[in-house]
Amino acid sequence: MNVTEIVFSPTGGTEKVSHILGTQWNENTTKIDLSDTRTDFAKCNIAPQDMVIIAMPSFGGRAPAVAIKRLKQIAGNGARCTVVCVYGNRAYEDTLAEMEDAAKECGFRVVAAVAAVAQHSIIPQYAANRPDSSDEKQLKEFAVKIRDKTEAAASVPGSHSYKKTGGAGLVPKPDKSCSKCGLCAEKCPVQAIDTVHFNADAKKCISCMRCVKLCPDNARKINGIMVSTAALAIKKACSVRKENELFL
């Protein structure tokens, strides 16, 4: 069985979850990276007999718009697919519903949905170290259930009118330790960073935190007061461990 992982994972948590599931079906999976600005997604080849994972993080309870836009260029050709949303232990609201709609529009058959938890990419003290070994065990069990499933459609949670999006508004800036290596600009999923001063265009930036995470100089920072305020606002929701969920 060929397994294709179609993944948007700015800081790696979503990719980890997707890979745990995918490698349970086949050790060698093919990856389509929705954060890669150079890929022509219309040319991606999905065969009808492939098993596909579509994985995205939840941003404000929604799927990242850029990831949905790129996904919609891919032809699903009737392949079976599992939509996977990964969130930072607060909530994922309509993320899976939005992903299901997009996957169907592409021509995939959505047979399952998974909501899984990974470290919060803005507030790393929440869901720190997740997915952990217990998540890994549970996700592998989910993969077996999905593989063995015989009925067609999945019962995916969330509202199809989707909650309103409001961007996180956290635009990372370089500090004095920036060595101008250019990695941030090269890897930015929305090409928001200029290659002279390495400032992010606030209108383009989606606050995904990739540049903060991958900067070798640890030079990219977000506003500490805004992060502390956000951390406090979601403290209650994030303080109890949420378990991964499977929807068949």
Ligand X SMILES: Cc1cc2nc3c(=O)[nH]c(=O)nc-3n(C[C@H](O)[C@H](O)[C@H](O)COP(=O)(O)O)c2cc1C
Residues in contact with ligand X by the rule CB under 6 A: 9-15, 57-61, 86-91, 118-122, 168, 207-209
User: How far apart are CB 31 and ligand X at their closest, in Å?
Assistant: 13
Give, as one character, the DSSP assignment of residue 207.
Answer: -
Which lies closer to ligand X via its Cβ, residue 13 or residue 174?
13
What is the C-alpha separation between 85 and 58, in angstroms, rounded? 6
How many C-beta atoms lie closer than 10 Å to residue 84's C-beta?
A: 30
CA distances from 166 to 3, 59, 99, 163 (A): 34, 9, 18, 10
Which lies closer to ligand X via its Cβ, residue 180 or residue 221?
221
User: How far apart are CB 115 and ligand X at their closest, in Å?
Assistant: 10
Which lies closer to ligand X via its Cβ, residue 150 or residue 239?
239
User: How far apart are CB 55 and ligand X at their closest, in Å?
Assistant: 8
User: How far apart are CB 172 and ligand X at their closest, in Å?
Assistant: 11
Which lies closer to ligand X via its Cβ, residue 46 or residue 208?
208
User: How far apart are CB 206 and ligand X at their closest, in Å?
Assistant: 7
Burial 93-131 (b: 16+ CB within 10 A, else e): bbbbbbbbbbbeebebbbbbbbbbbbbbbbbbebbeebb
Which lies closer to ligand X via its Cβ, residue 75 or residue 168?
168
Cβ 49 vs Cβ 109: under 8 Å: no
Which lies closer to ligand X via its Cβ, residue 226 or residue 248?
226
User: How far apart are CB 152 and ligand X at their closest, in Å?
Assistant: 29
Q: Which residues partner with 34 through β-bridges?
A: none
Q: How many CA atoms lie within 13 A of 55 on its CB side?
A: 29
Mapped onto helix, strand or coil, the DSSP state of residue 239 is: coil
